[in-house]
């Protein structure tokens, strides 16, 4: 831009140096007009006839492209076309005196320009003006169109990430002139989006303009400014596919640990694997998010899912302890037998093999065989007869001992089976609870995407 301005200024200098006979009729008129206008003109002072008069500047902004939105540093980079219009009281002429020439284009460095800058600039470089031409009309109206790449500060709220909407303001105003010397007003109610290039991550909802008049602590006079508020909504499709859907599928996989057989030895391993996978996705999310007081929506979903998986893994360990209760364990308490092995087992359709759904196994009372007591009338002591009753009583005592041992073993086995059945009931119960929780949480998050 500086080289181009140098060339334009050099061209005007050549107009002064060239003899008029070397120029055409239109060129001679433009040269004459230029000499007449800028002979005693200075660009150092406000171009007003009265120093108490306020100079009105009209500001128009056209959004061309969103270059970058840096959430971590909270800096918005835009490519804008900025148009400023004002009236120069010292640059007027009669078009009839110059062959109907009513407008000329000259370098902007030759005329007075308003010192309108971006207040919330987030760039280390000092503000500079683009060296483009201005259009000067015969009535003194000056129009200055200049492109600009702006870096402005923008407070990014990631509470609803990745379904968030942002509001970024760009405040323009004069840096040294107060409201009594220079008044800036927007042209129209909003910035123009006619030439906007669509962004892959952000959808522009609008860019309304608002004029304010503020008084700062440094100065007593008011300072007007114009704020263009860029309304953005994030396109969440990429984040849903890359961050949200994997977490949803993993969260739905975690409750299936309750459905695995306890003898497989993989119930706890599945819960720990799911927890590690969620931790990896949580680290990927933390790298892309700025440090903020508010936790993003997807971050809350990740933490809730990790908490659910942690509790499910802990409950899986407790249920496995119930499953592996040995024969020496105490019997199932009466309340647990009635409530869990009775009503809850029928409601969850947990049954033994061959048992119809909805019916519980009746409790078997332990039987014990006791040897018959010696009847009256039978003589005691040794008997030499082979079919004597005393020999039958000894045989019955041995059979009763074997039967009692068998029933004791059967009772211990039945106690172990009761604990295993109780573990299956608890597995089925927590499978429904945690699967419903995972499904509800996933639906609540996915509804935000619609």
**Domain extent for 330:** 240-343+398-449
Give mean pLDDT, residues 30-51: 90
Task: Tell me the two tokens of residue 405.
Answer: 């041992």
Same domain flag for 230 and 244: no
Residue (of 309, 319, 349) closest to 437 by Cα position: 309
Domain boundary pick from 234, 257, 286:
234
| Residue 388: pLDDT over 50 | yes
Task: Tell me the two tokens of residue 108.
Answer: 């902007």
Same domain flag for 109 and 258: no
Angstrom distance (rounded) from CA 383 to CA 108: 141
Of 214-223, 403-412, 435-444, the one with minimum mean pLDDT is: 403-412
pLDDT for 301 equals 87
Asked if residue 95 is part of any domain, the answer here is yes
Domain boundary pick from 180, 204, 234:
234
Q: Give the CATH number, domain containing residue 127.
A: 2.70.170.10
Q: How far apart are the first and last CA of the chain?
A: 46
* Backbone phi and psi for residue 331, each to the nearest 5 degrees, phi listed first: -65, 160
Q: With H, G, I as helix, E, B as strand and everything else as coil, classify residue 194.
A: coil
Angstrom distance (rounded) from CA 342 to CA 336: 8
Domain boundary pick from 234, 249, 281:
234
Neighbouring residues of 156: CB distance < 8 A, sequence distance ≥ 6: 69, 71, 74, 166, 290, 292
Question: What does the pLDDT look like over 92-137, one tens digit per residue?
Answer: 999 999 988 999 999 999 999 999 999 999 887 766 666 789 999 9
Is the torsion defined by CA of 287, 288, 294, 297 positive or negative? negative
Same domain flag for 255 and 220: no
Pairing mode, strands 55-70 and 182-186: parallel
Question: What does the pLDDT look like over 163-180, one tens digit per residue?
Answer: 889 999 999 999 989 889
Beta carbons within 10 angstroms of residue 86's beta carbon: 23
% of the chain surpassing 70 pLDDT = 78
316 or 402: which leads in pLDDT: 316
Give mean pLDDT, residues 357-384: 49
Asked if residue 390 is part of any domain, the answer here is no
What are the strands of the beta sheet with 55-70, ordered from one edge?
A: 103-107, 133-137, 141-153, 75-87, 55-70, 182-186
Neighbouring residues of 242: CB distance < 8 A, sequence distance ≥ 6: none
Q: How many domains does the chain have?
A: 2
Q: Which of 244-253, 332-341, 440-449 has the highest mean pLDDT?
A: 244-253
Angstrom distance (rounded) from CA 87 to CA 36: 18
CB 224 within 8 A of CB 241: no
């Amino acid at each position: 831009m500086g080289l181009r301005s140098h060339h334009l200024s050099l061209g005007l200098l050549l107009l002064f140096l060239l003899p008029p006979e070397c120029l055409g009729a239109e060129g001679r008129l433009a040269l004459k007009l230029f000499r007449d206008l800028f002979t005693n003109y200075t660009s150092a002072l406000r171009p007003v006839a009265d120093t108490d008069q306020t100079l009105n500047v009209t500001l128009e902004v056209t959004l061309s492209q969103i270059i970058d939105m840096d959430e971590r540093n909270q800096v918005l980079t835009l490519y804008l076309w900025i148009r400023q219009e004002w009236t120069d009281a010292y640059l007027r002429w009669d078009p009839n005196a110059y062959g109907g020439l009513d407008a000329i284009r000259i370098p902007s460095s030759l005329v007075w320009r308003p010192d309108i800058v971006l207040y919330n600039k987030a760039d280390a470089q000092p503000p500079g003006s683009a060296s483009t031409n201005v259009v000067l009309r015969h009535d003194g109206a000056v129009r200055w169109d200049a492109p600009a790449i702006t870096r402005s500060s923008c407070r990014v709220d990631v509470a609803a990430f990745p379904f968030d909407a942002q509001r970024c303001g760009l405040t323009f105003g004069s840096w040294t002139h107060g409201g009594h010397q220079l008044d800036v007003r927007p042209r129209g109610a909003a910035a123009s989006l006619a030439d906007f290039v669509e962004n892959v991550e952000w959808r522009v909802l609008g860019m309304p303009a608002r004029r304010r008049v503020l008084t700062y602590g440094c100065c007593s006079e008011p300072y007007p400014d114009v704020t263009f508020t860029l309304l953005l909504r994030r396109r969440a499709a990429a984040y849903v596919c890359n961050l949200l859907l994997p977490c949803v599928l993993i969260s739905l996989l975690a409750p299936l640990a309750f459905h695995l057989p306890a003898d497989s030895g993989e119930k706890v391993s599945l819960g720990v694997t799911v927890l590690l996978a969620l931790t990896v996705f949580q680290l990927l999310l933390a790298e892309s998010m700025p440090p903020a007081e508010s936790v993003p929506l997807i971050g809350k979903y990740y933490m809730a899912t990790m908490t659910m998986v942690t509790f499910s893994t802990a409950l899986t360990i407790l249920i496995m302890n119930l499953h592996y209760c040995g024969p020496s364990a105490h019997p199932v308490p009466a309340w647990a037998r009635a409530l869990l092995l009775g009503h809850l087992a029928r409601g969850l359709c947990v049954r033994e093999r061959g048992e119809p759904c909805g019916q519980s196994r009746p409790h078997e009372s332990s039987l014990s065989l006791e040897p018959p007591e010696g009847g009256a009338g039978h003589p005691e002591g040794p008997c030499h007869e082979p079919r004597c009753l005393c020999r039958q009583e000894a045989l019955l005592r041995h059979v009763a001992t074997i039967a009692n041992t068998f029933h004791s073993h059967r009772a211990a086995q039945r106690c172990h089976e009761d604990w295993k059945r109780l573990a299956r009931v608890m597995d089925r119960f927590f499978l429904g609870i945690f699967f419903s929780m995972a499904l509800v949480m996933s639906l609540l998050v996915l509804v935000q995407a619609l």
